[in-house]
Chains A and B, each alone.
Chain A
Amino acid sequence: MPRLKLVAGLLLALILVTGVLARAGLTRRWVEDLGLQKTQREELRVWDWWSASTNEEYGDYFAALETAFEARNPDVDVIFQVVPFGNYVQKLSTAMVGDTPPDVFQSSVYWAEGFHQQGMLRSLNDLLEADPALPGTPAYVGESAFLPSAWRHNHTEDGTIFGIPQIIDASCLLWNLDILQAAAADDDEIRAMFQRDAAGAIDWTRIHWDAVHDWEHFRRLTRKLTVRDENDDVTQAGFLLSASSGAGLFSPWLAANGGRFQDAAGTQALFASARGIETVEFIARLYWVDRVCPPFRRQMTDAEMFKERRAAVVAAGTWSGKDITRDTMGWTHFGKTAFPRGPSGDGPSTVTWGNMLVITQRCDNVDAAWRYVKFVGGLEGSLLRGQYLGYNGPRFDFYATERWQQALRERPYLSNVKQICLAGDKLRHTEIIAVDHQANPIVESVLLHYPEILEGRGPYPSVAAAMRTAADNVDNVYRRYNEQVDNWLALRAAGTD
Chain B
Amino acid sequence: MARRAPWSQRLLPYLYVGPALTVACLFSFVSMAISLWVSFHDYDAFAGASRFVGFDNYHRALYSADSYFWLAMRHTGVYVVLSVCGTLLTSLPLALLCLRAKVGQALFRTLYFLPSITPGVVLALVFYHIFGNYGQLLDRSWTALPALALLGVWAGAGYNMVIFLAGLTEIPQILYDAAVVDGANRWQQFRHITMPMLRNTLVFVTVMTIIGSFQVFTSVYIMTSGGPERSTEVIAYSIFVNAFAVAGQMGYASALAWLLFGVIFVFVFLQMRVFRSRRIYDE
Contacts and interface: CB of A to CB of B under 8 A. Distances in A.
Given A434-B246, A444-B229, 8 more contacts: A6-B8, A13-B18, A243-B228, A295-B136, A481-B247, A481-B248, A487-B44, A487-B51
Contact of A298 (B11, B224, B246, B248): B224
Which 7 residue pairs across A and B have the least CB separation, nearest first?
A299-B132, A484-B248, A434-B246, A433-B245, A441-B230, A6-B8, A491-B49
A296 B229 CA distance: 13
A448 B44 contact: no
A250 to B, nearest CB: 15
Given A120-B46, A295-B139, A298-B139, A434 B51 contact: no
B247 A431 contact: yes
Q: How many A residues touch the partner, as a band?
A: 35 or more
Given A433-B246, A434-B245, A444-B228, A16 B19 contact: yes
29 contacts: A3-B8, A6-B11, A6-B12, A13-B18, A89-B245, A93-B46, A114-B247, A118-B44, A118-B46, A120-B46, A243-B228, A244-B225, A295-B139, A298-B138, A299-B132, A299-B136, A431-B247, A433-B245, A433-B246, A434-B241, A434-B245, A440-B227, A441-B230, A448-B229, A484-B248, A487-B248, A488-B44, A488-B47, A488-B248
B138 A487 contact: no
Given A13-B19, A118-B247, A437-B245, A445 B229 contact: yes
B276 interface: no
Interface in B225-277: 225-230, 241, 244-249
Contacts of A71: none
Q: How many B residues touch the partner, as a band?
A: 35 or more
Interface of B: 6, 8-9, 11-12, 15, 18-19, 42, 44-49, 51, 66, 128-129, 131-133, 136, 138-139, 224-230, 241, 244-249
B48 A297 contact: no
A452 B233 CA distance: 23
B140 to A, nearest CB: 9
A221 interface: no
> Binding site of A, secondary structure by majority: helix, strand, loop or mixed?
helix
A438 B9 CA distance: 60
A289 interface: no
Contacts of A295: 136, 139
Contacts of A298: 132, 138-139, 224, 227-228
Contacts of A124: none
B139 A297 contact: yes
Contacts of B249: 480
A9 interface: yes
A10 interface: yes
Contact of A434 (B15, B227, B247): B247
Nearest to B247: A114
B47 A300 contact: no
A448 B248 contact: no
A438 B226 CA distance: 11
B99 to A, nearest CB: 38
Interface string A112-129: 001000111000000000
Contacts of A491: 44, 47, 49
A494 to B, nearest CB: 9
Interface in A457-476: 459, 472-473, 476
Q: Which of A89, A96, A491 gathers the greatest number of chain B CB atoms within 10 Å?
A: A491
A90 interface: yes
A331 B56 CA distance: 58
Nearest to B141: A448
Contacts of A445: 229
A327 B45 CA distance: 41
A200 interface: no
B48 A97 contact: yes
B227 A244 contact: yes
Contacts of B66: 438, 472-473, 476
A97 B47 CA distance: 8
Interface in A279-300: 295-300
A297 B245 contact: no
